[in-house]
Chains A and B, each alone.
Chain A
Amino acid sequence: MSAAILSWSLWAAQIMLALGMSCAVFRMLRGPRAQDRVLGLDTLYINAMLLLLTVGMASGRTLYFEAALIIALLGFVGTVALAKFLLRGEVIE
């Protein structure tokens, strides 16, 4: 009973998160200006992190948590570096 509830809800959540990731990829490829592309990348990594958390719950292992944490850390650094590049034209002054 509880295994069925969990597997179905995790499956539905993974499909929703994958749809969200495809929306973000569309905005990243299409986005009229550079800041739209950076925003699409930001949304993409947040959705990927949530997808990894649900994959970890479906597998029952805590290994995926570390991958999600690394995605969160590196995604933040990447978005800040890209925004800084848009602001100044160089990342490190």
Chain B
Amino acid sequence: MSAAAELPVWVAILTAALVLLGAALALVGSIGLLRLRGFYDRVHAPTLGATLGAGSIALASMIYFSALETRPVLHEALILIFVAVTTPVTLMILVRAALFRDRAENDDPLLRPGEGVARLDADARDPRETRG
């Protein structure tokens, strides 16, 4: 941290704020992974850390190294682009696999009472139709 002492204070404050924001978002996402009940709820939580968390930490790293070396250092954008592209692909394949496994055991999550499409149907259903 010897070289960091010559940095301007606004760079240090901006970097610190972005790093703390990103780490807090990643922590909230991981706690959500721990706390939420079903798998289909849980799969939403880590995306907090994967999108905005990774984005703000990579941005902080870009700002910090650009100020430290007094030239634009932008290679953290690679990680940012790569994670932003791959996370939706990964999680969609994983949810497909989970859906396939649940359906193979005759436990379709979309047909469970009080969840998914069944709940949406029950909310949207016209009361006159259920009477007949």
* Real binding pair: yes
Known A12-B20, A50-B22: A43·B12 in contact at CB below 8 Å: no
* B4 / chain A contacts, CB cutoff of 8 Å: 2-3, 6-7, 60
Q: How many B residues touch A, CB cutoff 8 Å?
A: 60
B80 to A, closest residue via Cβ: A72
Q: Is B94 a contact of A42 with CB atoms below 8 Å? A: yes
Known A62-B65, A83-B94, A86-B101: A2·B5 in contact at CB below 8 Å: yes
Q: How many A residues touch B, CB cutoff 8 Å?
A: 53
> Is A92 on the interface with B (CB-CB < 8 A)?
no
A5 to B, closest residue via Cβ: B12
Binding site for A on B (CB under 8 A): 1-5, 7-9, 11-13, 15-17, 19-20, 22-24, 26-27, 29-31, 33-34, 39, 42-43, 46, 49-50, 53-54, 57-58, 60-61, 64-65, 68, 73, 75-76, 78-79, 82-83, 86-87, 89-91, 93-94, 96-98, 100-101
B91–chain A nearest beta-carbon distance, Å: 8
Report the separation of the CA atoms of residues A9 and B4 in the bound assembly, to the nearest whole angstrom.
13
